[in-house]
Structure 1
Amino acid sequence: MKRRTEITAPVRLALSDLLLLGLTRLRTRPLRAALSALGISIGIATVVVVTGIPASSQQAVMDELANLGPDLLRAAAVPDQSHSDTPAGLPEASIGMAGRIGPVQETSGVANVHAGVRRTDKVDSTGTGITVLAAKPNLLPLLGAKIHSGTFLTTANEHFPTVVLGAKAATWLGITDLPPGQPKPRILLDDTWFTVVGILARSPLAPDVEQSVLVGWDAAKTTLAFDGRPSVVYVRATDTSLEDVRAVLGRTLNPEQPGLVQVSRPSEALAAQRITQNAFSTLFLGLAGVALLVGGIGVANTMVISVLERRREIGLRRALGANRGQIRGQFLTESVVLCTIGGLLGAVLGILGVIGYANSQGWPVVIPANALLAGVGASIVVGVLAGVYPAVRASLLTPTEALAAD
């Protein structure tokens, strides 16, 4: 009777068994595992931070633009080179003329009255860097600006010697707050005392207003010899017609010399700033990639050393029936588990970093989900790549070679 030859198929380890094998070595050498995972953690945290912080900044800018409106145009008078002694200015009726353009919703303006600013009559007004602007009461809502302290110019006080300070001008003058119930400070414009009734918050779309002292239009005429000619006109129009309004605004404000009117869109400056920030983000992402590479090399080095240290264990397992595939799976699993732990820890650290920085800047916290997924996915890929060579090297050891090792 012929004997039947039975071929026993190699036993495949379940995924749970592979995970237990991968975690066993990490539990027995926690310090080495932590140091190896640290490099991966730094790389992933850097990826999250350099994507989360610009995203939070961008969201803050977009929220600010949404409040201010991307429908704002700024038309400024350009000095006439043929009459260099004449201050730049638009016709006195230019603000009203801009309001007659069909799609225009609201207009306002400011005018440089060329007055000196002093905190006290004991100092000279030269070289302060502060401009005195005559302003209309509707300037604040049109720019989407906010009051930091006090009130803005109104129809009730614009005829009187009262002023509102821009954010930077207030800092330069040392008047940063107007506590209620206390006497209002006064400043000198030329030789006339004006009472400070308000301080503006920062206004990114109107940097000239930030560093200026705002006085009522009529008060400027009666006390500062203002001629009524605006130097800047602000216009809000419907989004769909903004470019059309921009094309005709110069000719409308100054029909005789439209070339002396420069029309710009303040939100474009913020868009350019975003492009610059995105360029820096790309640079930092490159640095994050380097950090990931260094972390992956550290993991690979740890796994290679682990193979050399555990040759007897590998030989014993091979002698007890473990095949090469099981040995490869064990070491590859260890590497992937190590990098996954590092990736998750790095993601947590990155999230905490973004939250901390965004809160310190007053920004909304925005963490792109694709950055988190890409970061953790990258750590797993690094684990696979870092573990391939050590796993293959371990599986190629024969039981006699491994058990005979010193």
Structure 2
Amino acid sequence: MTATLERSSLHAGDLLRVGSIGLRTRRTRAVLSALGIAIGIAAMVSVLGVSDSSKADLLASLDRLGTNLLTVQAGGGIGGGETTLPATAEQMLARIGPVERVASVTPVDGTVRRTDLVPSTHTGGLTVQAADPALLDTLAAELATGAWLDSTRSALPVTVLGAVAAERLGVTTGAKVWVADQWFSVIGVLRPVELAQDLDRSVLIGRDLAISALGADEAPGTVYLRTMPNSVDAVRGVVAATANPRDPDQVTVSRPSDAIAAKAAASSAFTNLFLALGAVALLVGGVGIANVMVISVLERRSEIGLRRALGATRRHISAQFLAEAVLLSAIGGLGGALLGTAITAVYDLLRGWPLLVPTTGIAGGFAAAVLIGAVAGLYPAVRASRLSPTEALRTV
């Protein structure tokens, strides 16, 4: 009578159980090894999340502020030296067909102080500028408090402060400040102006009063114009010749939204750098797992010999140690994904950004962790499977 030998098998449940033996018996070592993987995955997930949230906030700013704003200023020209825009530049630019709104600011020679008792040299880096009533709408700017300079207030000694100016002067709506050697009442404070950040450090007064009482130049210093969105490039091409027909080369035309777009591009460049650093951390974590698994094989030679003597095949032994490495890495990957998501959520909340955690980043990070674990555990698993039962049992 011939006996039939059944081929031994290792089911998924059994593989998970034997693969977790090393983790359960050496918990501290397992936690420290998984931590290396977790740090790498957390770095990658948080970098992707913060980058996407930042980019979404910048794009939202572009949508809110519009990309159809152009800024016109006097440039250096071919001969160099200081130049100014003609006094008629603003009116001429308003005649361009696709232009919807035009407004300007003009620098005023004068200092800004909280009180007349402060020396005139203590200006805090603030400037005085005469503003058109249409400036607020043209720049899509908003008031934090108070009112704006309308056509009536433009002839009165009142001022609207930029966000930084109000902070440095330590005043708000209702206070008075010493501007160009006379008192001005603060009737409003602007929120930060993203498309014209120079205004944040400015004290804005009415154009009429600036020209009549403070000797401001009638020629505008900077002209802002809004065009129809589909005509920006066409308008940009004729602005210089329209603003200064005699010397168009002495006119500089810029698009403030380009700076926001460039900031988004720069953020992507930094994202790639930090992702590379996260990948290095992940690789270091993989090396740590490989080291732990090699040591584990040496320490558990008796276990390997006993299992082989009881009928376990080389395939079973290699599967056990490979499963242990993958399980260890998977635990680190899951912990890292959760930690990276939490870091992203906290950072976005503090910055007031929309929360965006890319699922592809989480899934990709977890898959990378499992792959790193498999690669790191491959050599120790093969080494463990090649131990003969007699050699392994000598250590019992």
Return the offset for 1:81: 8.7
Q: 2:128 aligns with which of 132, 135, 160?
A: 132
What one-letter code is carried by the residue in structure 2 that aligns with 1:258?
P
Partners of 2:133 and 2:151 within 8 A in 1: yes
Distance change (3 Å), C-alpha of 1:163 and 1:32: same
Distance 1:215 1:22 in 2: 75
Counterpart for residue 162 of structure 2: 166
Q: TM-score, normalised by structure 2?
A: 0.94
**1:16 partner SS:** helix
Q: What is the correspondence of 1:351-362 to structure 2 with a 5 Å cutoff? A: 351-362=341-352
Q: What is the correspondence of 1:197-346 to structure 2 with a 5 Å cutoff? A: 197-346=187-336
What one-letter code is carried by the residue in structure 2 that aligns with 1:38?
L
**CA displacement 1:207-235 (0-9 Å, x = unmatched):** 22111111112222232122321111111
Q: 1:97 aligns with which of 58, 69, 92?
A: 92
Q: What is the correspondence of 1:105-116 to structure 2 with a 5 Å cutoff? A: 105-116=100-111
Partners of 1:192 and 1:223 within 8 A in 2: no
Q: What is the correspondence of 1:393-404 to structure 2 with a 5 Å cutoff? A: 393-404=383-394
**1:70 partner SS:** coil
Pairs aligned (count): 395
Counterpart for residue 50 of structure 1: 47
Q: What is the correspondence of 1:143-182 to structure 2 with a 5 Å cutoff? A: 143-175=139-171, 177-178=172-173
Partners of 1:76 and 1:231 within 8 A in 2: yes
1:24 aligns with 2:21: yes
Distance 1:47 1:82 in 2: 52
Partners of 2:77 and 2:250 within 8 A in 1: yes
Partners of 2:101 and 2:227 within 8 A in 1: yes
**2:155 partner SS:** coil
What one-letter code is carried by the residue in structure 1 that aligns with 2:128?
V
Return the offset for 1:82: 7.0
What one-letter code is carried by the residue in structure 1 that aligns with 2:283?
L
Return the offset for 1:343: 0.4
Distance change (3 Å), C-alpha of 1:389 and 1:81: closer
Return the offset for 1:160: 1.2
What one-letter code is carried by the residue in structure 2 that aligns with 1:157?
R
Distance change (3 Å), C-alpha of 1:243 and 1:83: closer
Distance 1:378 1:311 in 2: 30
Distance 1:287 1:166 in 2: 40
Percent of aligned positions with the same letter in both sequences?
47
Partners of 1:143 and 1:206 within 8 A in 2: yes
Distance 1:226 1:83 in 2: 24
Unaligned segments of structure 1, at least 5 residues? 179-183
Unaligned segments of structure 2, at least 5 residues? none
**2:226 partner SS:** strand
Distance 1:354 1:16 in 2: 35
Partners of 2:160 and 2:190 within 8 A in 1: yes
Distance 1:216 1:343 in 2: 60
Counterpart for residue 60 of structure 2: 63
Distance 1:300 1:389 in 2: 8
Distance change (3 Å), C-alpha of 1:217 and 1:322: same
**1:158 partner SS:** helix
Distance 2:126 2:75 in 1: 20
What one-letter code is carried by the residue in structure 1 that aligns with 2:149?
L
Partners of 1:110 and 1:135 within 8 A in 2: yes
Distance 1:151 1:27 in 2: 68
Partners of 1:89 and 1:229 within 8 A in 2: yes
What one-letter code is carried by the residue in structure 1 that aligns with 2:55?
Q
Distance 2:311 2:84 in 1: 93
Backbone CA RMSD of aligned residues: 2.0
Q: 2:112 aligns with which of 101, 114, 117?
A: 117
**CA displacement 1:303-362 (0-9 Å, x = unmatched):** 111111111111111111111111111111111011001001011111111111121122
**2:381 partner SS:** helix
Distance change (3 Å), C-alpha of 1:300 and 1:228: same
Counterpart for residue 181 of structure 1: none
Return the offset for 1:204: 2.4
